[in-house]
Amino acid sequence: MNMLESKVIQTRFEKEIFIEEKSNIEINGFHTLDKNTSFYEFMVGLDLIRIRDNEYYGNKTSYVNIRISEDFQSLFVIEPDVQSVFAIKNKQEKEAAIELIQYLLVDSQTFKQVVSEMISNIKRENVVNVFEVKEANIKLAVLERLLNVSNEDIKFMIRLENIA
């Protein structure tokens, strides 16, 4: 039997279940340094199963933004404007979502596999000019940083007051 790791966020209305499989994790939306920003940023999407009144209510993908400082030392978890994993949650529910994100970034071997596959894909890409080489090297540095994250590295910038 193949047992899967899962995490559950219990909200007032439903259970949001994250099953730890590579197909349930996406990393996209890379933004690099420019004259207005001093950090790298990308989005992590998690496919969540929704259970309401003990019945399947559908799936949804929820996101969190990750910013990494220019020196690659600090990771900041930022609430995105849309489809946030923290949306419509009270303080306790947001704390459960924070626990899920911490687990994902620090302990999840599946997340590390997704990151490692992305690194391998970038290394196989055919880059043809200086700009593409620079972009690929930045992505590689950011992704390689994700392979060695500790709880002390992560800073959450999430509003925890009760808005639900």
Q: How confident is the model over 81-138, as pLDDT tens digits?
A: 899 999 989 999 999 999 999 999 999 999 999 999 999 999 999 888 998 898 899 9
Q: Give, to the nearest 10 degrees, the angle between helix 130-146 and helix 109-124.
A: 160
pLDDT of 38:
85
**Residue at 25 is within a domain:** yes
**Residue at 110 is within a domain:** yes
- Of the ranges 69-73, 99-103, 144-148, which one carries the lowest mean pLDDT score? 69-73
Q: How far does the chain reach from its first CA to its final CA, in angstroms?
A: 39
Q: Are 108 and 16 in contact (CB under 8 A)?
A: no
Domain residue limits at 16: 6-157
**Residue at 163 is within a domain:** no
Number of domains the chain is built from: 1
Mind listing the pLDDT tens digit for each residue in 11-39? Answer: 999 999 999 999 999 999 998 877 788 89
Token readout for 5 is 């790791």
**Residue at 143 is within a domain:** yes
pLDDT of 164:
47
The model carries a pTM of 0.90
**Residue at 164 is within a domain:** no
Residue 134 backbone zone (phi > 0: left; psi -120 to 50: alpha; other: beta): alpha
Residue 162: pLDDT band with limits 50, 70, 90:
low
**Residue at 116 is within a domain:** yes
The pLDDT > 70 percentage for the chain reads 96
Q: Beta-carbon neighbour count of residue 62 at 10 Å?
A: 21
**Residue at 150 is within a domain:** yes
